A and B are shown apart, each in its own frame.
Chain A
Amino acid sequence: MHELTPGSPSLRALFPALHQEVNGHPLLYFDNAATTHKPTFVIRAITDFYEKDNSNVHRGLHELSARATASFEAARQRIGSFISAPNPDGVIFTRGATEAINLVASAWANSVLQPGDRILLTAMEHHSNIVPWQLLANRARLSIAFAPLTPEGRLDFDELDQLLAPPTRLFAFTHISNVLGTVNPAEKICALAHSRGIATLVDAAQSCGHFPLDMEALNCDFLVLSGHKMCGPTGIGVLAIHPRRFGQISPWQGGGEMIERVTFEGSTYKSLPHLLEAGTPPIASAIALAVACDFLDSIGRDAIRQHDEKLAMLALDLFSRIEGMEIIGPRNSRAGVVSFTLTDVHPHDVVEVANRFGLALRGGHHCAQPLMRVLAKPSTARASFYLYTTEDEVHRTAEILAQVRKFFN
């Protein structure tokens, strides 16, 4: 696969879902921040599992079970290496990024944080990195603060510096905003928090498929991935736990796989990663996610990142020529997510009309209602790119947006 470059026809040929018409136009899929399409390799890995190795894991001595277990555990290793996790035992398979964050709230923060402690979030978080903490804060009498943003939509580092202090015990923040396209300097932030004894959770849902990720370098305590946003299946995600937190993890869900010994009176538990993986896991999806890692590394995450940024800059340039266009978020060094509004046209209507031209945009609050309130907009439209997006598609999108403009004038 080595000669595949982002946006090239040979790369696009690997994604079956791209090659279809919507309302008589070729599909322009610009909703990659919601979920990405899957290359044939990933789809084939799922099929292969069910056609050949299908079996439950960990519990069996027979051939199929041995094969399934070996592939599943190899997937854990592969994902550990993909993010340079310090120890693959800290790589936990979850349903997605949302569940991974809830897991940290229940199995770590719930027992480690004390009443009065503060959890710091940012004003640009996805609901998945807000609501689990609100539920926990209510239960455990913690407080929550939100680090504010600069007018351009970046973290305000002066304010952040103030907030990274007692009673803050945990800073959970997104690597890339799914609305603003802002890229937060995660390594620098984690270093600062760490120097002040504050634990960190990096929500890498938006970066895991787009950016090189190195957990050793980040030195965060928890790292959260979303499989379906990185060419993997739906229903799989990852929580990576830094070994310095292994001893602080309580049992989470109970059931098969996570126990050592069960009696009528009580139970003892296995160590990580099994402690946090009760029940039959999404075996095929975990194996397919490892194939997605192989695929992304064969393209090169640096190349993907550059491709995203180039498209974002092109979109900023082309879109801003449209009358009444307001683009949200930083003007430079940003990810491939471009949110915008058109004066006097509601985002729902933008998306509806775009769809008639085969263009898949997203409109709404993007699961970031608090940010919307900061931006003083009930909603925005959003175009988000990925490694298969072409410059030509961005040009066509700009033309369609101009037609949307016309339709409502």
Chain B
Amino acid sequence: DLMFPVLSYRTGPFGANGAENADGYLDYFALLNERDGGIGGVKVQTPECETEYKPEKGVECYESTKGNGALLYQPLSTGITYQLIPKVTADKIPMLTPGYGRTSSANGKVFEYVFNYPANYWDGASVGVKYMLDQEKGDLKGKKITLVYHNSAYGKEPIRTLEELSKKHGFTLKTIPVDSPGQEQKSQWLEIRRDKPDYVLMWGWGVMNQVAISEASKMGFPMDKFIGIWWAGSENDVKPAGEGANGYKALTFHGVGKDFPIFKDIETHLVAKGKASNGGKNIGTALYNRGLYFAMLAAEAAATAQKIHNTKDLTGAQMRDGLEALKLDKARLEALGLANFAPEITASCENHGGSGLVAVQQWDAKAGSWKLVSDFMQSDREVIDALIKADSEAFAAENKITPRECK
């Protein structure tokens, strides 16, 4: 069997998010098993392990599952990702961290076993700015952009990119941290109310998002000028603010809603048979779709690997090859029942980070749903690639890694 351990978090402060994500992830594999008999005819196993979003537990989960022929890890937490980077490399099991994790692991020469396509935080920051550029007809000179961020390693990720971009586009950047967990943000939002920035970007997580969105709406900040990162773009984040959240935007690297053929399959093969996780109650939420997408990437890479190595059962190293050779084009997406669900991906030995295509979604409070309000847009590679190069090389030097040669 193909083993895809699921590191999930369903308890603790972020449990609500973790549950939706994990449901999507599990359901996709369950669908493959039910509908197609697995991947390439081999059943998929998805043992779940609760990490509680804690690094220690994540490591425990990793160690307890890796021995059974685990093919791929998606730890769903940047903290855990950092613990696992050296370990997966030593154990030769690939790890995929789309939209989180260590951004510079996009450099496949240094990070052999770590992947983070289709997009990373720096792509997110860049596309966020690009979207604003579009809105402002290509000119951000003299505009004020404020970044509200979770005061942690995660929250600080976009700062460097944004600083570069502010130089490039001539906007003024202000950064306001919110300490974890972030239930009290009066100071921060009063400050924003006084500053009246043109846009607010938010790198938030957990309860911080809900409070920020409700404070912003109460203070009358125009919600359509308020853009969150994809981890601040779930139903959970906007619902507590009720009507006030209407118009709030968030970045995303995959489609939203249930309007894709695959959801019919899920309905017939899983929900109807009572096999959907959590009774199928999370189907179609933003994070469910993300979990689904993560699983799809894994499954596609596995199928690719099976083809390359001409074998049904895989090893971690073969899976790595599959991930590096992943080609996800329009046709393939359509065949999967996910037409236009996500941008195309072409991975390679050196490119573990994908192309960095990101779109913007907007919340419609009446309908209670997200919808995409932009195309998938290309991030500013010029700025980002330089940053990735610098950071991955620093990592290589610090850990005495000689970057491998890619043919």
Tell me, yes or no, whether A binds B.
Answer: no
Footprint of B on A, CB under 8 Å? none
